[in-house]
Amino acid sequence: MRVSVITAAFTAAALAVMQLPLGAFAASDMYFTVTEVQSSDISTITADGEKWFKVGSFDDDKDYIITVKDKDGRQYMLTVTDGESSGTVWSYYRQTMVSSTTPRFTSLRSESSYLVCSGDALRTAYTRSVSGDLVWEHIGSTLRYNEGGTYSYLRYDADSETPFSFTREQSEAAEVDIYTKGEQLERCIVSQPHAESYVLEGSGYAAPRFTVGLSDVDADSVKWYVDGEEQPCGSLSFTAETLADRPAGVHRVSCLVEAHDDSGIRCRERSEDALFVIAKGVAPDSFLTFSDVHEEYGLIGDAIENVIERTGGYIPSLVICTGDLVNGTKAEKDIMLERYYPRIIAELGGLDTVFVSGNHDSGGAASAMSAAADLGAGESLSSDGGQIFCGSSEAVARNGRNSRYANGLIVYGLNQEAVMKTKDGGTVCSYEDVIGGVDAFLRDAARNYRGELVVISAHTGLHTLGIQPDSVNRNGMSISDWIGENAYNIDGSYELASLINSYAERYGMDIMYLFGHDHSRSETELIMTDGSELISTVRYEDKMTGTQPLHFTYAHSGYLSTQIGSADSSFSFVYRDGGSFVYELIRTSDNRTRRTDIAAKYVAPPETTAATSSAATSTAATTTATTAVGRTDNPKTGDDMSAFFAAMPALLLLAVGTKRRRKR
């Protein structure tokens, strides 16, 4: 062990408070009043000649009109004015591109004025620094302001010189409705359409059936689309006859729903694209993995489509989603499972998938999603993680589709929940409590090891960001300074790397540790193999690091988003090629590929080599798929993996393409 103490000064970036105001103060003579609506009915109002639709809740980055009613039931628009110009349209903004530990924040803004609760009064600008949540919500028929868990409600008194104020008593709150316009109104889809499984080219599969589930509303209109073209179906279930007998490839099915409820709430929502995958077969012992999709779920379908194109029609045996599936502050388990999980499933096209949580996600939700897949998740799986896939398990043989052909893979999911700990009122990151679980997993894997690729899928890495020379930014330049944040240079990284090293060296195990997260610190790609020098954090507080030679593969899983830091819609595709593993870091936008060939450590005994090779060829030619009429064993396609491996070098020579544009 070579240990060094870094002496370069750094500044901690963690903020204890959210600094406000957000912009210039409004003029001091701005005040709040009301403007009468031109006309209204149970679900709409007319203002400035335009129709606005009644909705039940705020949604990010949309415009709203906020109305109150007087004692006689007449409806008025909340207005900010200086006596000469007035604003009645309020833009709602939800802060999303923030650390998972940042307080929640939303704002309502009209022109240059903000709607601000200050005690029991309204103000038009932020005038102080605050900590904790600052959230506007439309709850029932009230406008509620949440500051650090303290609730205030908008109150309206038509007879007062200052008609608006705030109250802590909900019974004194004004009756408030909110209205919006545009392609999307209120959300109403609670069950996204999705494909139950992939199907095989030439297998005679039945036309797929897609269904959308709605909340307690009455549907007014349902329109279905296949690859952007409207279909002749107006019901909640759609049989896509046009997708039968197609060649290998990816298609996207979606629907646009308009609906209403008894209170006049108007809903209009477009579903997530439901990926429909037609494959020639399955690339054995292969997987597609990515991190940090941050709600850009359409990029998942792009990654799957990219693999199908580059393999000549084959799909990966498994998909691994490695954290930060959502944006903003950490999503609670129920919200993850109810709102985001269905959207993700729609984009997966029925491919077998397991999940790992990031700092923005609930570890309990990620583990529940992996457990629901039932693909060999260990009995010890908890919110901290654990074994989430075992290709040789009875569960995979029973429940797997494409993953039935991944009997050479074992996956351990290290949820970020296990790494982030509360200490002295703050959050610190350490692998201290992770070591025991990883040790137990590797001990079990080593006990009956037969050459499986052991994948440790984690949201955070093991290297010291800013010191590791292999760590580069999007321009290919090394990141030269110690990045002084414990969320990246994690306590105990050296010890965890040493543990993994010991199993790889002692038992000749092929192990890959794949991670994400660092995209927000300008790091784009890192791949290190056997013999590379890994610099890891021993103790963060002392800026102490240690260096050791690697005996396993250490790499990014890819940052499948485009909006944060250096994230550039990249993912990883890993597969076997004879006596080697191939790791490819691929960018969906232009097909740029960074390929690394990694020699396998484990060598099968001579008497089993021929049988293994034969099994791989048979695996590639045969898969099992689920169609609209139930699970069926599809016939062999007549293809084998020789076409897949032959196609790879040629595909890498293709000219850089342009980013696919999904039709809507």
Question: pLDDT tens digits, residue range 399-422?
Answer: 999 999 999 999 999 999 999 887
pLDDT value of residue 130: 67
Residue-wise pLDDT tens digits, 616-647: 333 343 343 333 323 223 322 223 444 444 44
CA of 299: how far to CAs of 233, 249, 289, 356, 584, in Å? 27, 16, 12, 18, 17
Strand partners, 44: 53
Residue 132 has which token pair? 């904790």
**3-class state of residue 348 by DSSP:** helix
d(CA 422, CA 426): 6
d(CA 483, CA 217): 50
**Residue 633: its H or E element:** strand 630-633
* Phi, psi of 438, rounded to the nearest 5 degrees: -65, -40
- Residue 160's CB: how many other CB atoms inside 10 A? 10
Residue 430, CB half-sphere, CA atoms under 13 Å: how many?
13
Do residues 572 and 558 make contact, with C-beta atoms less than 8 angstroms apart? yes
pLDDT value of residue 476: 74
Residue type, 314: Y
Residue 318 has which token pair? 């498994």
Do residues 28 and 80 make contact, with C-beta atoms less than 8 angstroms apart? no
Do residues 591 and 583 make contact, with C-beta atoms less than 8 angstroms apart? no
Residue type, 248: A
Q: Which of 73, 77, 65, 63 is nearest to 42 (CA)?
A: 73
pLDDT value of residue 171: 94
CA angle, corner 276, sides to 274 and 281, nearest 5? 145
d(CA 311, CA 641): 9
**3-class state of residue 170 by DSSP:** helix
Do residues 581 and 530 make contact, with C-beta atoms less than 8 angstroms apart? no
Do residues 553 and 511 make contact, with C-beta atoms less than 8 angstroms apart? yes
d(CA 257, CA 221): 6
* Phi, psi of 13, rounded to the nearest 5 degrees: -100, -5
pTM: 0.86
Residue type, 394: E
pLDDT value of residue 178: 97
Query: What is the SS3 string spanning 453-505?
Result: EEEEEECCCCCCCCCCCCCECCCCCECCCCCCCCCCCCECHHHHHHHHHHHHH
DSSP 221: E
In order of start, what are the domains of the chain with their CATH numbers?
Answer: 31-180 (2.80.10), 189-270 (2.60.40), 280-652 (3.60.21.10)
Do residues 93 and 60 make contact, with C-beta atoms less than 8 angstroms apart? yes
d(CA 432, CA 438): 11
pLDDT value of residue 641: 45
Grouped pLDDT means (10 residues each) for the chain, 664 residues = 38 35 53 91 92 95 94 91 90 84 89 88 78 89 93 93 93 96 94 95 95 96 97 96 95 97 95 96 96 89 96 97 85 86 93 93 92 91 94 96 96 94 82 95 94 96 88 74 79 96 95 90 83 94 93 94 84 94 94 94 61 37 35 31 44 34 42
pLDDT value of residue 353: 97
- Residue 235's CB: how many other CB atoms inside 10 A? 12
